[in-house]
Structures are given as C-alpha cells and as structure tokens.
Chain A
Amino acid sequence: MDRLLSLIGSPILNMAMGSGKLFLLFIDSVIWLFRPPFRWKQLFKQIEFIGANSISVIILTGTFTGMVFAFQSYIGFHKFGAEYMVGTVVGLGMARELGPVLSAIMVAARAGSAITAEIGSMKVTEQIDALHSLAVDPVQYLVSPRILAGVIVMPLLNSIAVFCGVVGGYFVGVEILGINKTLYLQYMYQYVDLTDLYNGMVKSLVFGVILTLVGCYKGLNVGGGAEGVGKATTESVVLSCVLILVFDYILTAFMF
C-alpha cells in the first residue's frame, strides 16, 4: 500500500516541486532585470539568436499554415456556397491562434532546445560554477537576457507568421481556388479586428517567456554529463510545447 501511494505521490510531488522551481527562477530573473549591470550585449546576441535566426523558419511555417488552412476551410464553405468567408477564417485563425502557437512551437524547437543544450553543457563542464566563482550570478548573466529577448522577439515573429499566413491564404483562395478577390478581402477586413491581432500578441508574449524560461531551467538543472544534456534538451522541447498549449487554452479562455 505504501509503495502504491508513493508510486502515485512522488511524480505529483516532483511536478509540484518542478513548477515551483520554474516559477522561482522566473521571479529571480525578473528581479535581476532591474539590477545593474545591464547585459545589453547579451540581450542583443539573444535577440539575434532567438529572433533574427528564426525568421526563415517562421516565414515557411506561417505561409504553409495559411495555405493549408485556406484549402481546408474552402471544403467546408464550398458546401453552402460561402467560399468568400475563407479569408475571414484564415485571418481570424492565424491572428488569434495559429500564428502565436505555431511560431512559439517552432521557436521552442529551434531556440529553446539550443538554449538548454548551451546552458546544460556549460553546467556539466563547470562553467556555471566558474561564473559563481567569479562572483557573477548565472541567472543574471544567462537567464534574464534570454527571457527578455524571448518577450521582445516572439510578438515580432508572430506578426511575421500572421502576415505570411494571410498572404498564403489569399494566394490559395484567390489564385488557386478562384474565390472572388473583392469579396475575399472585404469579408476579411470586416470580420478580422485589430483586437484579434492584439489577442495573439498577448499570447506571443507569454509563450516567449515560457520557451526561454523552460530552456534555461532545463539547462541549469542538467545532471550527469553529455547524456544528461541530450535528455534535458528533449525534455525542454516537450515541456515547452505542452506548457505553450496549456497556456494557450488558459489565455484563450480569459480573453474569449
């Protein structure tokens, strides 16, 4: 009986502990953001790494998602002759949901994993201890700039994804499927608001925190050599993606 209880209990305890530590790391890194010295160089480097280097991936993801979305929604609307609504659905879907979520998942896979691998290998080669020994706080030096970079960069990447998605959807809808151009645009303008876009931006901000925070957390808690780094990298991507989807639901429910 004891064993059964601990079998159920210990993963739950671990999870609670993990999320607590994650949150503490977040608080810590936010506090460090307001204490000098400010790490401008680190910040710009991370903005380049997380943001600028992700642009091509985001353009591809956004465009193809918009194109597929146009095809799929056309099937539905075609049944009752409302093909011109495809633009509205693509616009709404990209702005509110697919833009932020897909861009965040792509960046988590690309940059979040790299953050974990980088910090993790610093951990196993004692470089984190070396930072401590040189009286430099690793949270301030490594974590804060990455989280701030994530927050700055994700809404920008999101807007690229949304734009590309809408363009892709237009291309498929109007050029390939032959929907009336004027109606397509008119309905899209009419039903897609700036608030829909803001909605997605707020999500992007939160996702930017999640993927960088999880990346750093998993990296700082690597144990056991090169194998540990590999394991932590996988865990980091999985956890980031799960948290992104969970928070997507929570944020959607709040802003509904």
Chain B
Amino acid sequence: MISDENVIIELKDVYKKFGKHEVHKGINIKIPQGGITVILGPSGTGKSVLLKEMMGLILPDSGEVTVDGVDITKASKVELVNVRKKFGMLFQNAALFDSMTVYENVAFPLREHTKLKESQIKELVLEKLKLVGLTNVENKMPSELSGGMRKRVGLARAIVLEPMIILYDEPTTGLDPIMKDVVDDLIYSTQKKLNITSVVISHDIDSAFKIADYMAMIYDGKTILNTTKEEFKNSDNPYVVQFINGSKDGPIKMF
C-alpha cells in the first residue's frame, strides 16, 4: 500500500476518450514524493496519455489530477504553466528540437525561464551534459547522435531547470541491452543525486524491478495495482502474475 502522506501526484477516477476509443476507464494512481515509480502495462494501453495528463498536456474527460496540491483539471492557463515548470519530461524519442544544436537544446529552458548570464548558462549546460555522461557533443545537431545519446541529451534538457518531478516515457524502448542498462542506471542515479520524484512508463519488467521504489500496473484503462515494489513482486493478482511472467495465457488478452 502507498500511504497518503507524501503523495505528490494523484490521479483519481480519470476517464479519457479519443473519439469512440476509451483509453482510460477509471485510473487511480498515487505517486509518492522522492522515489521512482514505474507504471507498467502492455503496449497501447494509454500509458503515454497518462504522463501527458499528469502534466496537463492532455486533459481528462472526468476525474481529478492533483500535482503538488493543485488540481490541474481546474487550473487556469497561468497556473498550468507554473505546474509545468515543476516537471521535466523525457519523451520516447527524446523530442529534441532538431533545428538547434545539443547545446542550444539544453540551454533552451534556461533561456526561456531564467535571467542567467550566458556564462552561467554555459556552466549549467555543460554540468548537466556531464551528469548524463556526455562531453564534446555540444555543437552537434540532434540528427548526428545515436538513439541512446539523444535520450541522454533529452534527459539533460529535462533536468536542467532542476524540476521536482521527472517523467520518462518508455526510456529503454528501442535500445540495445547495454544501452538499456546505461539508461536505467542514469534514471536511478539522477533520482538519487537530485532527490527528485521520478515517474517511468515502461513495459520492460526487468528494468522496472531494477530501478523502481513503487510500481503500478494499468490494463484496459484501469489501475490493476499500485503499491511498493516488494508487494508488487509478491502479488498474486492474476494480471500482475501474467505480466511479470510474460505469458500469453491469462486474463490479459492481446487480441
């Protein structure tokens, strides 16, 4: 169980429809502060939508999304902008601005939201790039980088404003096993170094167990389980068991 203290993001009875397709049919998730929460679920069950709802990029049809005490479904545009400043997000394909160099990408949030001098910006950018293990790439364009490097630049951009919460949208999808481990390690060490809240969307059960403090599983638009890693591992919920074992037989139907 997750206690109600320390909860920084809470989704309560969230429903969302795209056209006739119901993506969320009552999602209830609590994200505790300080720690890594991994949200698992089969592909195509609206996990990315869930992240976007946490940031207010997509508004649910009904239900509440509370971030640090603010219900963003009722927030004004200005409040929403302030809430978004608490977030950093790493997109599935990094979503780097491809008209800018790596340096400009990472410096972008600083130039937008702070009045720092160019020398201070440079210092911060290089520091964050070093934190994600990149040196001498500042002047490259995103198209010149490999997938893993792009993700690391994306992470550097996400943490450069030192947000309270970092959202990761399938950070290890499409990476080779070694790069996967590197990214997992990066998520883990970033969380420990900066003591922030991390939310990871994934369907990769191995890396989930490696990095998670808390876990949640969604299937068919509903929350199946939302608890600590230990309890999740030992759960006898048939959905969870099937997903952990990676079996095609069970209550989760892919067809």
Per-residue CB proximity of B83-127 to A under 8 Å, as 1/0? Answer: 011011101110111100000000011001100000000000000
Least CB distance from A209 to B in Å reads: 24
- Taken together as a complex, chains A and B put the C-alpha atoms of A199 and B63 apart, in Å, by 54
Q: Is A135 an interface residue, CB under 8 A from the partner? A: yes
Known: A133-B55, A133-B84, A135-B85. A126 touches B91 (CB 8 A): yes
List residues 175-202 of chain A with CB under 8 A from any CB of chain B. Answer: none
List residues 130-146 of chain A with CB under 8 A from any CB of chain B. Answer: 130, 132-137
Interface contact A126-B55, CB-CB below 8 Å: no
Q: Which residues of the partner chain A approach B81 to less than 8 Å between Cβ atoms?
A: 135, 137
Q: Is B52 an interface residue, CB under 8 A from the partner? A: yes
Least CB distance from A224 to B in Å reads: 13
Interface contact B87-A133, CB-CB below 8 Å: yes
Q: Is A129 an interface residue, CB under 8 A from the partner? A: yes
Interface contact A126-B92, CB-CB below 8 Å: yes
Interface contact A130-B112, CB-CB below 8 Å: no
Interface size on A, residues (CB 8 A): 13
Interface size on B, residues (CB 8 A): 22
Interface contact B97-A130, CB-CB below 8 Å: yes
Per-residue CB proximity of B67-85 to A under 8 Å, as 1/0? Answer: 0000000000000011011
| Interchain Cβ contacts within 8 Å, total number | 47
- Taken together as a complex, chains A and B put the C-alpha atoms of A130 and B97 apart, in Å, by 9
Closest to A126 in B: B95
- Taken together as a complex, chains A and B put the C-alpha atoms of A136 and B87 apart, in Å, by 13
Q: Is A53 an interface residue, CB under 8 A from the partner? A: no
Known: A135-B81, A135-B84, A135-B113. A129 touches B108 (CB 8 A): no
- Taken together as a complex, chains A and B put the C-alpha atoms of A37 and B111 apart, in Å, by 11
Per-residue CB proximity of A107-145 to B under 8 Å, as 1/0? Answer: 000000000000000100111011011111100000000
Interface contact B98-A127, CB-CB below 8 Å: yes
Interface contact A133-B57, CB-CB below 8 Å: yes
Most chain B CB neighbours (cut-off 10 Å) among A37, A129, A134, A136: A134
Q: Which residues of the partner chain A approach B157 to less than 8 Å between Cβ atoms?
A: 134
Q: Which residues of the partner chain B approach A125 to less than 8 Å between Cβ atoms?
A: 93, 95, 98
Interface contact A127-B95, CB-CB below 8 Å: yes
- Taken together as a complex, chains A and B put the C-alpha atoms of A133 and B95 apart, in Å, by 11
Known: A132-B55, A133-B55, A134-B108. A126 touches B84 (CB 8 A): no
Interface contact B113-A129, CB-CB below 8 Å: no
- Taken together as a complex, chains A and B put the C-alpha atoms of A129 and B58 apart, in Å, by 10
- Taken together as a complex, chains A and B put the C-alpha atoms of A133 and B229 apart, in Å, by 28
Interface contact A129-B52, CB-CB below 8 Å: yes
- Taken together as a complex, chains A and B put the C-alpha atoms of A34 and B237 apart, in Å, by 56
Least CB distance from A111 to B in Å reads: 16
Closest to A130 in B: B95
Beyond A130-B95, A130-B97, A136-B112, 6 extra complex contacts between A and B, CB < 8 Å: A125-B95, A126-B91, A126-B95, A133-B89, A135-B84, A135-B112
Interface residues in chain A, defined as those with a beta carbon under 8 Å from any beta carbon in chain B = 37, 122, 125-127, 129-130, 132-137
17 pairs from A and B in contact (CB 8 Å cutoff): A37-B112, A125-B93, A125-B98, A126-B95, A127-B97, A129-B89, A130-B91, A130-B96, A130-B97, A132-B57, A132-B84, A133-B88, A133-B91, A135-B82, A135-B112, A135-B113, A137-B81
